[in-house]
Amino acid sequence: MTDYLKLVLIFFAAVNPANVAVAMAAAPGASARDRRTMAVVGIVAAGVLLAAAALASDRLLDLLDVAPETFRIAAGIVMVTAGVRALWGNSHGAEEVAEGWRGGLFPLGVPLLAGPAAVAATISYGVDEGKGLTFGAVVPAIILAAALCLASADRRALRSPLRAAMMLTGALLVGAGAGLVVEGVRAI
């Protein structure tokens, strides 16, 4: 598997599109137009945040005085925690959804699309794999998540399959996070 495809798979797990769709299903009464607006704003907000995390990854670690190996371990722990939460079937995020475009910023953009696992992975892989490759691998995951969110809106029949997909993706994230922890420990 190429480095790019590996990163796409990791960011797919970190963003967890099924979790995003499950969480945003809680958006009561949003019109189709509002959901499209939220999706576009969410993609842009998450994209800007994750691009900034990738671009500033070296500087952030320098500012924090943290070695890349140490941050790799921390990112892995954050990813494992998010994966375990998804495995238990706990969707995070959308207890309260703002109306219109604001809902695209919160909760869709942050913390659903650009959540702690995605941000930590972006910083870690931005240092290790390069900023362009990392951001290029993030983009498909956030677009897929927003599209799935739109496609599953108000479709009760999809809730159970989405929960199952969320849990399976959580298991994948646990594995990716554990691998990152092991890589960090080996590098130290």
Spatial separation of the C-alpha atoms in residues 152 and 82, rounded to whole Å: 22
Round to whole Å and give the CA distance between 35 and 23.
13
Kindly indicate the confidence band of residue 152, based on its pLDDT and cuts at 50, 70 and 90.
confident
Tens of pLDDT, residue by residue over 20-78, are 888 887 666 677 788 889 889 999 999 999 999 999 999 999 999 999 999 999 999 99
pLDDT digits (tens, 9 = 90+) for 3-30: 999 999 999 999 999 998 888 876 666 7
Instruction: Supply the DSSP string of 99-138, one letter for each residue.
Output: STTHHIIIIIIIIIIT-HHHHHHHHHHHHHH-HHHHHHHH
Q: What backbone phi and psi angles, to 5 degrees, belong to 168?
A: -65, -40
pLDDT cut 70: percent of the chain above it: 93
Phi, psi dihedrals of residue 12, rounded to the nearest 5°: -60, -45
pTM of the model: 0.93
Distance of CA 93 to the CA centre of its chain: 12
Residue 122 in this model has a pLDDT that exceeds 90: yes
Decide if 123 contacts 60 (C-beta within 8 A): yes
How far is residue 171's CA from residue 179's CA, in Å, rounded to a whole number? 12
Contact 30, 103 (CB under 8 A): yes
